[in-house]
């Protein structure tokens, strides 16, 4: 006898364990009450976290209580700024359980800046390839340009199945391929770089942290993109030891913007060779002698003057997140994601057609709080994501539409073949809409909602209610013209 599926939970609050996360509701009503001031619903935590009022107060009080100046100077205000910057470095290492003797913190403008530092300075070559997963942000994909300029092979590991995961066997095959030379002989490679995200910014898939050790076994250094993972998951660098970790602090706790970090193992950092130097990165330099001597520590990678007025806010943000508890945030986000997926996948038009198509896992197992979907009309036609962007904004929702700077995950989700995206076939394509027409795709992206530190059951419930009331059993209509797609 086949048992019927249990009815979906009416609210996330009815899920086991939700009541234990009630502190987040208390914070939402106090420190994050500005989120509800205009009746809007924020569902773009994968794009940026939200700032607590305590963070603003801390910055305000610090600015009025002291005087701080360029840390490169030698005076009391310079020393005060430098002391706060170094304190923030220690706080970062402590938060990620990183041994200061093993890891260094390089402050950057964002995670993209951290990726660029590695890409431009890594010793790529014919025997030092670059391996990437299809599922990568463009800031990681861009490293391939440095690798190719150095004559290195660039290899991608594909996604497989509707959950848009990478098969570990495929990864092992690609990692091992660079160790086999002509005639099938095993060759000794000096090194290589494997770069992948701990969590997809497209599908929410969490790729195994165990791949760091797998890559090490194959002789690779590892760049771990933790920008989407770290805001709601614990990353312990005493257990997982990638050579490089890229982060943006506004993704974790909303403020400050314009500050990220590269966490790098000191031995790996010492192997990087920068293609240029700037103020603050050198110990000495001569114009007539045409030589320079770089700094011997992480400051060799921090170009010019650091954002010394905002970096101290990183330390407070880490203390703030730590006081709430990363594990508590993880539990809350997981429950909201589980409920949202449960509800969306049960919605059907009267025609029997599903209303929602999910790209990636349809359960909360092995994934984070980023859910990407497209909506379908009763006849199965995809609803243009630009229309959803317009109508959701009118209804007060802040979410993301498009392709999310992750072309590989998009190609996997939409079933785009390698042959169809050959450069010669798209040589005369000028716009994104021309590109989609050439690929014969019905839409150019999807709709992404994501939960974070201050998300509540009401946020998820309002989104589901919006989807039902706006798109369920709605007839297909052209409506007003949609704006052209300008980027992807």
Any idea which residues carry the catalytic annotation? 405
Q: Which two tokens stand for residue 55?
A: 């963070």
- Under DSSP, the state recorded for 7 is P
Measured distance between the N- and C-terminal CA atoms of the chain, rounded to whole angstroms: 49
Q: Mapping DSSP to helix (H, G, I), strand (E, B) and coil, where does residue 375 land?
A: strand
Q: Is the peptide bond before 186 cis (omega within 30 degrees of 0)?
A: no
Distance CA 36, CA 42 (A): 9
CB atoms within 10 A of CB 60: 10
Q: Are strands 130-133 and 193-197 parallel, antiparallel or unpaired?
A: parallel
- Give, for 105, the enclosing helix (H) or strand (E): strand 103-108
> How far is it, in rounded angstroms, from Cα 323 to Cα 189?
45
Q: On the CB side of 374, how many CA atoms lie within 13 Å of its CA?
A: 20
Cα Dmax for the chain:
88
Q: Cβ(406)–Cβ(138) under 8 Å?
A: yes
* Relative orientation angle of helices 311-324 and 76-95, to the nearest 10 degrees: 30
Rounded Cα gap, residues 376 and 343, in angstroms = 15
């Amino acid at each position: 006898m086949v048992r019927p599926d249990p009815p979906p939970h009416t609210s996330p609050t009815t899920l086991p364990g939700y009541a234990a996360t009630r502190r987040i509701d208390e914070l939402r009503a106090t420190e994050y009450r500005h989120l509800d001031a205009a009746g809007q619903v924020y569902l773009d935590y994968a794009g940026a976290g939200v700032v607590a009022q305590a963070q603003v107060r801390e910055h305000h009080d610090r600015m009025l209580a002291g005087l701080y100046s360029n840390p490169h100077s030698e005076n009391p205000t310079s020393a005060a700024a430098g002391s706060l910057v170094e304190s923030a470095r220690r706080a970062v290492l402590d938060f990620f359980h990183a041994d200061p003797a093993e890891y260094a913190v390089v402050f950057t403008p964002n995670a993209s800046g951290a990726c660029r530092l590695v890409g431009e300075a890594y010793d790529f070559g014919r025997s030092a390839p670059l391996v990437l997963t299809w599922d990568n942000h463009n800031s990681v994909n861009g490293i391939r340009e440095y690798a190719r300029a150095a004559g290195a092979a660039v290899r991608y590991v594909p996604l497989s199945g509707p959950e848009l995961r990478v098969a570990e066997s495929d990864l092992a095959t690609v990692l091992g391929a660079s160790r086999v030379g002509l005639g099938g002989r095993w060759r000794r490679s000096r090194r290589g770089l494997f770069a992948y995200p701990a969590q997809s910014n497209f599908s929410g898939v969490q790729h195994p942290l165990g791949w760091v050790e797998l890559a090490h076994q194959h002789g690779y250094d590892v760049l771990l993109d933790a920008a989407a993972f770290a805001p709601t998951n614990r990353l312990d660098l005493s257990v997982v030891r990638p050579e490089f970790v890229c982060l943006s602090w506004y993704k974790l706790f909303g403020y400050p913007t314009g500050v990220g970090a590269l966490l790098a193992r000191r031995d790996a950092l010492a192997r990087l060779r920068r293609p240029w130097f700037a103020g603050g990165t050198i110990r000495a330099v001569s114009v007539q002698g045409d030589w320079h001597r770089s700094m011997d520590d992480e400051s060799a990678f921090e170009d010019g003057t650091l954002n010394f007025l905002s970096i101290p806010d990183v330390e407070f943000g880490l203390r703030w997140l730590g006081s709430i508890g990363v594990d508590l945030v993880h539990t809350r986000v997981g429950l909201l994601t589980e409920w949202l997926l449960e509800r969306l996948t049960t919605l059907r038009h009267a025609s029997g057609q599903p209303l929602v198509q999910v790209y990636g896992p349809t359960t909360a197992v092995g994934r984070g709080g980023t859910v990407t979907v497209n909506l379908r009309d009763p006849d199965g036609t995809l609803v243009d994501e630009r229309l959803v962007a317009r109508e959701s904004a009118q209804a007060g929702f802040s979410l993301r539409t498009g392709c999310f700077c992750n072309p590989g995950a998009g190609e996997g989700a939409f079933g785009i073949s390698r042959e169809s995206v050959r450069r010669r076939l798209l040589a005369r394509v000028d716009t994104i809409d021309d590109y989609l027409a050439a690929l014969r795709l019905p839409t150019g992206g999807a709709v992404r909602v994501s939960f974070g530190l201050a998300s509540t059951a009401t946020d998820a419930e309002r989104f589901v209610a919006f989807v039902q009331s706006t798109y369920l059993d709605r007839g297909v209509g052209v409506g007003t013209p949609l704006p052209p797609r300008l980027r992807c």
